Structure 1
């Protein structure tokens, strides 16, 4: 195999399972250098298996009275004869405690693209952003942002890559009152490899959620302004601009609780709505940017069955839609649920004993060391 042309070796190795590729790095120095190169990362990415990444923090994972940050665990979505199943290999877990800076449980994954995961450390005396690759076991610490710890704030993140520039960027909006009675919507962006945040000025809308799902070069959030003509805002990572995009037609006016979440479901933007604890719906935009293409895929009303009612009791976050039609959701930042449209049932998936958060994830071999001006560390 050593006599094969380089492009042939890259093609062959890139088709192997991720775990096998990692083992191949130990075969010889040439294979290690090949798998660690940018050419291999680019060839492998389109072939990378679909999956999920969870920040799992079991209750027993403690030091004294304090929780550890937990584990990043990759779960592969495997195709079976007539369905798909989730497969978790314990070896493909990353203990975040091995990073000296990550010694707190105040941590959330707020975005994932091309094998990279963006983590946000929040809470009193904390406001830090990290980028890591669980496969290469690298992480970087982004410089402290301008508005950290200045009064109360809700901080919204977006992580993605430009379709044209191919640049990886982190965008965040600082939403708070500084000084009191002055509402601030300050947007900043960080391009990996530059070493600094840049101000984008005032964001045009107040956004919901910690992280915006990435699709078509944009991150997406629902907006809180009642007078906005559309209720979804997108951030273009190439243009670095915000714009409203078509939202589902509103058919119900909630009188009390109205909870929403966005996700990418089978390559389409999806939105869930919980109305007044008595109805749960899922919309899917079949053609990106076309309002008429929104379709109501799921409607669950109170009283159909006790198992279905639970999705209306607490916040439910859309996660992913499988090829067999089942829809994965995070329930109250704690459990993984699967809704089966064919059976009209909601089932709890027992993989871990507790969940904190999950994101769609495709493993990749892009090395953080390829970004100049960044200080990269190993777990």
Structure 2
């Protein structure tokens, strides 16, 4: 036998099979690759990917992955609006996506009025606030409909958390900033006590304090007392609440007050934030202002915006923005309603008791552009329709139409109703 036949040829080192890695290590390496690929997908696609397998679902719903996705994509774009109907439990959904195809919008985005419900709860949901993809909600507890349960709800993942019982609260507010923490907090403005000013006087004073529930720390705990000067003697409605710039803001409106209570969640500092005083044309006695007809306050991509309409016969609509210091409002945009009314003549109506021409609309959304001011727009609710108006180009487009509901008495679905942002999010609640 020749020496050549007795010589064994070794396989190249690169071709040898390594068996040193354990099966768990191999699976972990594959998971890392998969998670890296998944991290580039939109949140809507990730939600669908959870249906691929139990393994995929486990990876996508893992808090470490979801928190990484949320923080990397923050601020998340606004996908749509929940528009409150004539009843608290009735909502219409207005999508802000895929608006280039009007036919698709007409068929898919203009939804009929319907209650929002949890899958495992018999009562409809009432939305109180929307913050960065999470909703603060309440619903009744059968059989006693006077009892209320409060929830933090993620409408994208359908997850919810029942908040601990709380009574004698004036208002609740949700704070959630996924760029800073995966945890959320709910703040409660509560009545502390009622005591007489003097033994011989029947006048009473109401005192307030703030409590907090934290998703990572648990039950309600008292934080600070609210100075008596920070709130009017009689608080009627503080349901307009906004989380902005690291603080919760409770707005109230009255004939002699245009302020809001601001509470910084990090420093626990309480201060009063004033709203811009607008020109109400009080010298024009022939055409008095419709004081407080329409007010809109919203946060979008880290900025706070305020709109107030006191004269429905005026085609001018001014948008104010608050600077990041929280001290000064300035005029940001101006909207001329005339071109919009020319395209949608149903906006023009005659006031029955003055016979003057008025514009029928309400502001239901404000969207700051992802890249520049060119893509920033306002969403208006006009009779039977929702339209978007771009500030810079001064162009507009119909988003969807609304069909009258039985609650509307067959009339046009229209009114000054609140709306809540829908933001797709994987945030855990």
TM over 0.5: yes
CA distance in 2, matches of 1:43, 1:299: 39
Deviates more, 1:163-172 or 1:128-137: 163-172
Deviation at 1:101, TM superposition (A): 3.6
Match of 1:64 in 2: none
Does residue 232 of structure 2 align to residue 171 of structure 1?
A: no
- CA distance change for structure 1 residues 13 and 344 in 2, over 3 Å: closer, same or farther? closer
- Given candidates 182, 207, 212, the residue that maps to 1:189 is 212
TM-score by length of 1: 0.69
CA distance in 2, matches of 1:301, 1:126: 44
Match of 2:8 in 1: none
Match of 2:406 in 1: none
- Given candidates 188, 205, 227, the residue that maps to 2:231 is 205
Query: What SS does the aligned partner of 2:425 have?
Result: coil
Does residue 422 of structure 2 align to residue 364 of structure 1?
A: no
Contact 1:220 1:234 in 2 (8 A): yes
Query: Which sections of structure 1, spanning at least 5 residues, go unmatched?
Result: 60-66, 149-154, 369-379
TM-score by length of 2: 0.62
Does residue 317 of structure 2 align to residue 275 of structure 1?
A: no
Deviation at 1:359, TM superposition (A): 2.3
Match of 1:371 in 2: none
Deviation at 1:197, TM superposition (A): 2.3
Match of 2:298 in 1: 263
Contact 1:336 1:349 in 2 (8 A): yes
Match of 1:47 in 2: 73
Match of 1:160 in 2: 175
RMSD: 4.7
Contact 2:376 2:391 in 1 (8 A): yes
Match of 2:247 in 1: 218
Deviation at 1:337, TM superposition (A): 4.0
Deviation at 1:186, TM superposition (A): 4.9
1:178-201: per-residue Cα shift (whole Å, max 9, x none)? 799655555433222444223443
Deviation at 1:9, TM superposition (A): 2.7
CA distance in 2, matches of 1:80, 1:251: 38
- CA distance change for structure 1 residues 101 and 241 in 2, over 3 Å: closer, same or farther? farther
User: How many aligned positions are there?
Assistant: 346
CA distance in 2, matches of 1:51, 1:100: 27
- Given candidates 327, 330, 351, the residue that maps to 1:294 is 330
Query: Which sections of structure 2, spanning at least 5 residues, go unmatched?
Result: 1-25, 196-202, 283-288, 350-356, 370-374, 404-412
- CA distance change for structure 1 residues 119 and 326 in 2, over 3 Å: closer, same or farther? same
Task: Pick the structure with greater CA Rg.
Answer: 2
Q: Which has the higher contact order (CA 8 A, sep 6+)?
A: 1
